[in-house]
Amino acid sequence: MSEAILEEKLTDEEKQVVRPPLVLNQRTMGWISSYISSIIEGKTPLWWWISMGVTVPMTLMCLAMLAYLIATGVGVWGNNHPVGWAWDITNFVFWIGIGHAGTLISAILFLTRQKWRTSINRAAEAMTLFAVVCAGIYPALHVGRVWMAWFLAPVPNANGIWQNFRSPLLWDVFAVSTYFTVSVLFWYTGLIPDLATIRDRCTSKIKKFFYGIAALGWRGGNRQWRHYEKAYLILAGLSTPLVLSVHSVVSFDFATSVIPGWHTTIFPPYFVAGAIFGGFAMVLTIMIPACAIYKPLHDLVTINHVDKMCKVILLTGSIVGYAYLMELFIAWYGANPFERAAFWYRAVGPYWWAYAAMMFCNVVAPQLFWFKYFRTNLLWVWIIVQFPNMGMWFERFVIIATTLARDFTPSAWGMFHPTIVDILTFVGTFGLFTTLFLIFIRFLPMICMFEVKAVLPEADPHHGEAHH
């Protein structure tokens, strides 16, 4: 039934509560399966090979830099005294923050019944996993002697050494590894019915074998769906506090220290808001080009989705801006000379340009999203979200490097200068991230087909019946 006929029967008051359709152009269930699957089933497109031609060498460069670091020592990075945490921890927090948008979309928007999330959650969750992979590199290699990293795990060992469970660094190990594991489980659970679709469609024996194994024998019976839906709901319920806890725990690494500028209670909520802010920017950064390549996806990832995500960016960006101002206010109002000095050096010290870049990118630039024009013009959106992407990196750099560079006594002051290894490793992680994402687009359905089908009007078993 077309929307026009449906709307004619309604009174003016009822019309106001009719929501715009989530899937445009009245696409059918069959079209959704056929189109999403055709992305995987078709011949590998040329742009994919060209992109891989760029990102795979970048990934290899990253791995080469890491191998060089392991072979030589952590001194190949620019870390020094007093800046003992530098680009490595900056990049760790940057990447882990990006992951948060995926979990927010898949879990929190699921619990709050935001049905528009269905067409973007798969790609956003994939982005989460790949961002956490990039993030995990840094703390693992930052320990210096990587072959000793197993000391992080609480296993009885010959040295009789036990972990200090009161240390936020160990909390971080548990938080990040739990986050990664639960994200993989959540993502795979969501993939099972769609893998079954691919299994039932594919013709070649090899594909049938691999997708068949991966689909675990899914049949789509209601006796399976009811446990499945329950499991999905529980996973969403578990992931929601988890995602909020992960960046809170990351912020504890700073907040529980006694360093002026770090030792603040505002850090957990401020970090979480910043993570969602930066993460949504990254979702848009990769989804807009993906939809530009596969144009019919605009019927599923509509301009309305982009508009909503821009509003989330505007909201979280404003929370972050509020946190920046509140930090400054508390530094002044707290009347602690060291705290005041820390923020004075941040804003006007040798790293003033990083602070200014952070303020501009995170607080000023997203304000354009107050205007509907900037929220609904894809080119503008893509340009504007690059500012949060950059700004969130600067934020972590400001928090980490500028704070450490001005130690308690001026005799211990120093500056951080990245080495070429620092730079190439960081650039390389973008290659790794993009390579993983390209592989994902090529081999797995990038839109959650069964969930999109479930939000079509005809999926309602009472569709077309009179209102009760």
Closest to 231 in 3D by CA, of 209, 212, 216: 216
SS3 164: coil
Per DSSP, 365 falls in state G
Task: Rule CB under 8 A: say whether 125 interacts with other proteins.
Answer: no
Using CA atoms of 166, 172, 174, 180 in order, give the dihedral in degrees to the nearest 10: 170
267 scored as a contact of other proteins (CB under 8 A): no
Among 252, 355, 397, 426, the residue binding other proteins under the rule CB under 8 A is 252
42 binding other proteins? (CB under 8 A): no
Q: How far apart are CA 332 and CA 343, in angstroms?
A: 9
CA dihedral 81, 354, 408, 87 (to 10 degrees): -30
Question: Which two structure tokens, joined as six digits, stand for 453?
Answer: 């089908």
* Nearer to other proteins (CB atom), residue 205 or residue 227: 227
CA distance from start to end of the chain: 19
Q: How many residues bind other proteins (CB under 8 A)?
A: 69
Closest to other proteins by CB, 431 vs 445, is: 445
- Token couple for 49: 């090979």
Q: Cβ of 410: how many Cβ atoms within 10 Å?
A: 7
The span from the CA of 12 to the CA of 15, in Å, is 5
The yes or no reply on residue 462 touching other proteins (CB under 8 A) is yes
Q: Does 410 bind other proteins (CB under 8 A)?
A: no
Candidate segments 171-179, 298-306, 332-340, 421-429, binder of other proteins by CB under 8 A: 171-179
* Binding of residue 461 to other proteins (CB under 8 A): yes
Binding of other proteins by 221 (CB under 8 A): yes
Q: How far is the CB of 100 from other proteins (least distance, A)?
A: 15
Coil, helix or strand at residue 113: coil
Which two structure tokens, joined as six digits, stand for 54? 């760029």
- Of residues 149-168, which lie at the interface with other proteins (CB under 8 A)? 154, 160, 162-168
**Does position 41 bind other proteins by CB under 8 A?**
no
Look-up of token digits 């354009």: 368
Among 222, 409, 411, 468, binds other proteins (CB under 8 A): 222
Asked whether position 38 contacts other proteins by CB under 8 A, the answer is no
Cβ closest to other proteins, residue 45 vs residue 154: 154
Q: Crossing angle for the helix pair 121-142 and 46-72, nearest 10 degrees? A: 20
Residue 467 binds other proteins, judged by CB under 8 A: no
Q: What is the contact surface with other proteins in residues (CB under 8 A)?
A: 28-30, 33-34, 154, 160, 162-168, 170-171, 174-175, 178, 181-182, 185-186, 188-189, 193, 196-197, 199-201, 212, 216-231, 234-235, 238-239, 241-242, 245, 249, 252, 450-451, 453-454, 458-465
